Amino acid sequence: MAEETIFSKIIRKEIPAEILYQDELVTAFRDINPRAPSHILIIPNQLIPTVNDVKPEHEQALGRLFTVAKKIAQQEGIAEDGYRLLVNCNAHGGQEVYHIHMHLVGGRPLGPLLIG
Ligand code: 5GP
């Protein structure tokens, strides 16, 4: 069993976060250290530590990360100008929290910005 991270506590609302969306599969909340005007994390409710741990049974939840990203980008008013979706994996990818998360960043031209 993988060890829970702070993100599981955010999903269960045991610690505060600005949650923008939650359903039975995924949760989206603002990053505590935003690197752009819009910086949101979208995560599966089930703990999957890294992309290396992804299994076929996770496809529904991981697919939903994209439909929720699209919805939130529209809500944030950044859909037309554009934005970036990013998933870091392990040390070389710059992953700090071992609960898969999709970064949604936008609200300004991002240039070669990397999050990690
Ligand atoms: P990673 O480097 O693992 O891809 O990204 C982890 C992200 O989680 C970072 O952008 C970091 O700012 C964010 N983060 C870490 N701890 C918290 C927290 O307690 N609350 C929120 N909202 N974001 C967090």
Q: What is the CB < 6 Å shell around ligand 1? A: 6, 17, 29-33, 41, 88, 94-97, 115-116
Global pTM reads: 0.97
User: What sign does the dihedral 3-105-36-29 (CA atoms) show?
Assistant: negative
- As a whole number, mean pLDDT of residues 28-47 equals 98
Query: Using 50, 70 and 90 to split pLDDT, how confident is the model at 116?
Result: low
Pairing state of beta strands 102-106 and 83-86?
antiparallel
State how far the alpha carbon of 114 is from the alpha carbons of 7, 8, 69, in Å: 21, 25, 18
Q: Tell me the one-letter amino acid at 108.
A: R
Set 39, 99, 101, 103: catalytic member: 101
- Is 83 in a helix, a strand, or coil? strand
Q: What is the CA radius of gyration of the chain?
A: 13
> Which tokens go with 23?
């359903």
Q: Choose one of 10, 29, 96, 103 to mutate for the ligand 1 pocket test, by most ligand atoms within 8 angstroms of C-beta.
A: 96
Q: Choose one of 29, 32, 114 to mutate for the ligand 1 pocket test, by most ligand atoms within 8 angstroms of C-beta.
A: 32
Whether residue 101 lies in the annotated active site: yes
For residues 20 and 29, the answer to whether their CB atoms sit within 8 Å is yes
Q: Which helix (H) or strand (E) holds 106?
A: strand 102-106
Question: What residue ranges define each of the domains in the chain, with the CATH number in brackets?
Answer: 6-106 (3.30.428.10)
Tens digits of residue pLDDT in 38-59: 999 999 999 999 999 999 999 9
Ligand 1 centroid, distance to 58 Cα (angstroms): 22
